[in-house]
Amino acid sequence: MTQDTPRPLIEGITAAIVGVSDFGPHLELFTGRLGYEVAAEGTVPAAVADALWGTGPADLEVMALAAAGSGTGRIHLVRVPEPVAPAAAPHNLDVGLVGIDMYARDIKAAHAELGEAGYPWTVSPTTYGVAVGDREVEVTQGICPAPDGTVVVFVQPAAVRGTEAWNADPERSYTELTSVVCHVPDADAEVAFWGPEGLGMDVWYDVVFTSPGFDEVAGLPDGTRMRLAFLAGEKTARIEVTSADTEHRVDRRAAQRPARSLGHSGWSVRTRDLAAALESVRRTGGRVLAGPVETDDPWHGRAAAAGVETPNGVSVTLWQPRD
């Protein structure tokens, strides 16, 4: 980064927000099987939760799960007593948030071990190619449903891209979240919102491709032309923005609200400058819904936080630490 290059306002997606009916089944999977640990737990005060997410007069019970102590790529669990919609696993052509991804060191072993433990995969490990410029990138991935409609995508990478968990503990089987996925009607607007002229993430690649292997993994009609834009910051999790030339299915955005919905329902993003980040949100077609509000809670520590939407209606909580 040169002296004239502005510093990015964010470093990546700090956490995926996952609404739960009961913490127990999620802890059995993420801490019992995948090696995450509870990094923090407690409550978000009602005044803060209601201001940010419209949850009403009760405190929210929350947990923050981390892999090998990673400060990013976390899973933020929140108990949702009265969800706005029943739990449902999104399809890759549904509009809104889709999967949460992490690396597996040995995806075939993961498939066998999790299946034997009572977590059957909806898609077994499959390898396919994505054309990126004049080369083809090979990807091996499979899908394992988590409780409450959360879609977990395991990826065995051909080339490992920076992961805090594997840097801290090279022997562990799984990483922190390496990417989060949204499927949107207006990919250009979403890329501009998060990209170098917006909140500051880099566009690693932005391609349109067809792949029989990907059609199989993603449950797409044969020959679907998929656009995939991959945005990365200094730290995980990265963002996969997808759109397709086929008809969208269910629009899940109204039922994907942080702390009011079950499953993958929003993103938590730390910023170095909340005021500048909110200015960027407005400038690039997003909406500021709430805040800033001051908080001191297990997810954010002492921080100022605001609720925003991207141009495609993805729910994001932006926050700046006060310490």
Does one domain contain both 100 and 231? yes
The residue segments making up the domain with residue 201 are 96-244
Is 202 found in the same domain as 267? Answer: no
Is residue 42 included in any domain, yes or no? yes
Q: Are residues 240 and 102 in the same domain?
A: yes
**What is d(CA 197, CA 147) in angstroms, rounded to the nearest whole number?**
37
Could you tell me if 197 and 139 are in contact, meaning their C-beta atoms sit under 8 angstroms apart? no
pLDDT of residue 4: 61
- Which of 218, 244, 270 is the last residue in one of the domains? 244
- Taking the alpha carbons at both ends of the chain, their separation in whole angstroms is 25
Q: Which residues of the chain have pLDDT under 70?
A: 1-5
If asked whether residues 55 and 191 sit together in one domain, one would say no
In a domain, 91, yes or no: no
The CATH number linked to 123 is 3.10.180.10
The domain total for the chain is 2
What is the reported pLDDT for 130?
Answer: 78
Residues 106 and 223 in one domain: yes
Query: Quick one: tokens of 95?
Result: 């509009």
pTM score over 0.85? yes
Q: Is residue 9 part of a domain?
A: no
Could you tell me if residue 249 is inside a domain? no
* Token pair belonging to 106: 């040995």
The 60-67 sheet, strands edge to edge: 36-44, 60-67, 74-79, 15-20, 263-270, 315-321, 301-309, 287-297
Q: Cβ distance 81 to 71 under 8 Å?
A: no
pLDDT tens, residue by residue, 64-96 = 999 999 999 999 999 999 999 999 999 999 999
Q: What is the pLDDT of residue 3?
A: 53
Do the domain assignments include residue 261? yes
Domain boundary among 185, 217, 244: 244
- Dist. CA 89–CA 123, nearest whole Å: 13
**pLDDT tens-digit series, residues 281-318:** 999 999 999 989 999 999 999 999 999 999 999 999 99
Note whether residue 3 is domain-resident. no
